[in-house]
Structure 1
């Protein structure tokens, strides 16, 4: 009989939290749970989500204890897994991350370039605080972190909490693999075995096979060369529920693919290879943050309120997300030693033979009760190696700037980012970001 788990969702007020709860409920046969807790530092926002989830749990799994709190000791005591997805500064600060760089003709994006650096400087302290609470109150627990920007957060935990039981993950490759499976006519991405390497939001698939060992890359490449990662169903439908910004991202993958047709790219590479294209189509008055606040946030919170008003979740319209399924698979692999193969962000330590051993790279790992065992991906080509060395230097400089409170180091990080055209623009953006983030960043000298 499988041991029942105690789960803390850190970021209980997130719009992704209901999807995680629903995915946990869908997998109780494989991942039994005795307790779910929510933790957030915004009590009002968390309560809006928690009140609906309390009804959902009472109706579908009344045996699971549920609570929501803003008190660290109450939250982190008696926990097996912390599933962390916090957003320090919320979407209001993401909006500034996106709009400030655009003033200088530089793309503003949640995890890439100046926007990602600004977000990283906010996230480091928040995630380290969660790690410290977990180690104080439940020292045997694991933290499964998908708080963005995952690359910078992963470097910060590697350097500043080197012995912590934290695994940093990202759902973007999972989402792309879902699309690959649709292109191939497979029922699930789990029907594929992949080889992949890179940094978070900065990687390439090098081999994809079915369970019988047949090479699936040629068929996917043929599709991506013409359509990017837009699926056959989306191509044949005049009406699609995919947001316009994501449709553009999936279409743009064909241009990214053209740079190296030997591999299949992560969609976020468009920001590095075609930064000016992204600036050209960006609306400086209405960015992705505005899109999310006007759509996803309103939909999730209004649906939670509807459930609370109705007093039942029988016809709830909230759905489990891609990344929710991924995090359940990861928790299950650790809890029950399943040795599942998963893409994770881990310290290189020779997995990419000709790359910085201390870099936090995204590669396939086998996951068991001891955590991830990275799978060696061998030597990487000069093109990718050069790009990755530049980007990993940015990530390391950001963490160093946060640790030391160094203006100079953060200016260097921004200047080194492939998205930023020169040091003068980097300084202008930095000075604006400092002003916008004075309540969140450490003081820089």
Structure 2
């Protein structure tokens, strides 16, 4: 049986140990002969890589391991590139969130001005990875988790139209796990869903069990009361107001806007932007929570493993949705025809929508990659929102490619999170200044 070679691009990411653990956990389903890490920051990658090398030696000593900053070494002889890069690291994410809040605008990693700023940084980084892959392993596939997935997907469609890249997001998977638990199922894999939208901007229209019974009425009843929070969380969290609890419970207000569908949680930034701003702490945003929480935890655990020379007793764990990327790699490698939500060129999947839009829809995945399933016509409400948002994403990519200040100003003006063109311009000037080391120089 063939064993696969994988490079994890973004080896210094806090998500890398989780992906390694998940790969090790699935070797019976997806055998591996080699795992490589690639990052352009050696010092950061080294801290993660030294710990992961111990993890691999203890669990699967026959797997070759290499961590490198040399693209040729990293991308030669690989079957899959699993990419999750963050250009500018958390320091820039913090600015993405805090700069918009100064103007009374949503400060969020992938939505609104913060997402646009992050997208302008990510495009070049992801294109560089594609070019390395095509140069050194032209038959490989890139499975891309790098955010903001919507803008990155549009950039790869427009600027690398023939590349073997699949852009994925695990947010719908996480929500589906909550839906399943809310009605007493063990796993989202006991559900078959219909869904359409853009990344971080979509709606479920039909959810059935494997026998074809309609689960929507039960799930809707739960969501109308609790959002995507689980009953036990609501009972336990009366005294906490964590940002994620607010996000999951807010889904009941999103659902009320269109009770025919079930919403993605990110729609709160577009339906209720002022409220999102009011709830935000401009001095301590989600980036600060992650730096003080996840980042310290992962790097701390890695340091302990290296110090002790063993992973015994480690608190590193597999991320809840991590198996998603293995399912996708398996579907391509073994032609499993698994049904998965992916970001693909529309080409008629949503009948009354731009064919060149990158939409998120269920696809059947096999050796040739994803084949989108037609979701039919969509209602005017969702279509109107999606037209506006896809125009923002396309303008950002055009702005990057053409180095156009004007188009980026238009993108910000068009975003539903930004109140007017004046605020958009002030915001843009502040973001240009903050991103001068990362963005193309705009004209």
**TM-score under structure 1 normalisation?**
0.98
| Structure 1 residue 239, shift from structure 2 partner | 8.6
Q: For 1:23-422, what aligned pairs fall within 5 Å after superposition?
A: 23-237=22-236, 244-422=242-420
Q: 1:238 to 1:412 in 2, by over 3 A?
A: closer
Deviant stretches of 4+, over 2 Å: 235-240
Q: 1:321 to 1:197 in 2, by over 3 A?
A: same
1:28 & 1:235 partners in 2: Cα distance? Answer: 37
1:406-433 deviations in Å (ceiling 9; x for gaps): 0000000000000000000000000000
1:233 & 1:326 partners in 2: Cα distance? Answer: 26
| Structure 1 residue 321, shift from structure 2 partner | 1.1
| Structure 1 residue 346, shift from structure 2 partner | 0.1
| Structure 1 residue 243, shift from structure 2 partner | 8.2
1:427 & 1:147 partners in 2: Cα distance? Answer: 27
1:194–1:209: 8 Å Cα contact kept in structure 2? Answer: yes
2:224 & 2:237 partners in 1: Cα distance? Answer: 21
**Match for 1:423 among 410, 421, 424?**
421
1:182–1:232: 8 Å Cα contact kept in structure 2? Answer: no
1:84–1:143: 8 Å Cα contact kept in structure 2? Answer: yes
1:126 & 1:243 partners in 2: Cα distance? Answer: 36
| Structure 1 residue 316, shift from structure 2 partner | 1.7
1:261-305 deviations in Å (ceiling 9; x for gaps): 110000000000000001101111110000100000000100111
Secondary structure of the equivalent of 1:195? strand
1:170–1:323: 8 Å Cα contact kept in structure 2? Answer: no
2:101 & 2:233 partners in 1: Cα distance? Answer: 30
Structure 2: runs of 5 or more not aligned: none
Secondary structure of the equivalent of 1:31? coil
| Structure 1 residue 206, shift from structure 2 partner | 0.3
1:318-341 deviations in Å (ceiling 9; x for gaps): 111134211010001001100000
2:237 & 2:86 partners in 1: Cα distance? Answer: 35
2:254 & 2:165 partners in 1: Cα distance? Answer: 32
1:194-223 deviations in Å (ceiling 9; x for gaps): 000000000000000000111111111111
| Structure 1 residue 107, shift from structure 2 partner | 1.0
1:5–1:35: 8 Å Cα contact kept in structure 2? Answer: yes
1:233 & 1:67 partners in 2: Cα distance? Answer: 43
Bigger mean CA offset, 316-325 vs 213-222: 316-325
1:23-77 deviations in Å (ceiling 9; x for gaps): 1011100000000000001101101110110000000000100010000000000
1:174–1:322: 8 Å Cα contact kept in structure 2? Answer: no
| Structure 1 residue 238, shift from structure 2 partner | 5.1
| Structure 1 residue 135, shift from structure 2 partner | 0.1
Identify the residue that residue 440 of structure 1 maps to in structure 2: 438
Secondary structure of the equivalent of 2:322? helix
2:235 & 2:60 partners in 1: Cα distance? Answer: 40
CA RMSD after TM alignment: 1.1
| Structure 1 residue 314, shift from structure 2 partner | 2.0
1:82-126 deviations in Å (ceiling 9; x for gaps): 000000000000000011111110011000000000000000000
| Structure 1 residue 306, shift from structure 2 partner | 0.7
Secondary structure of the equivalent of 2:442? coil
| Structure 1 residue 315, shift from structure 2 partner | 1.6
2:299 & 2:363 partners in 1: Cα distance? Answer: 36
**TM-score under structure 2 normalisation?**
0.99
Bigger mean CA offset, 10-19 vs 306-315: 306-315
Aligned length, in residue pairs: 443
1:171–1:322: 8 Å Cα contact kept in structure 2? Answer: no
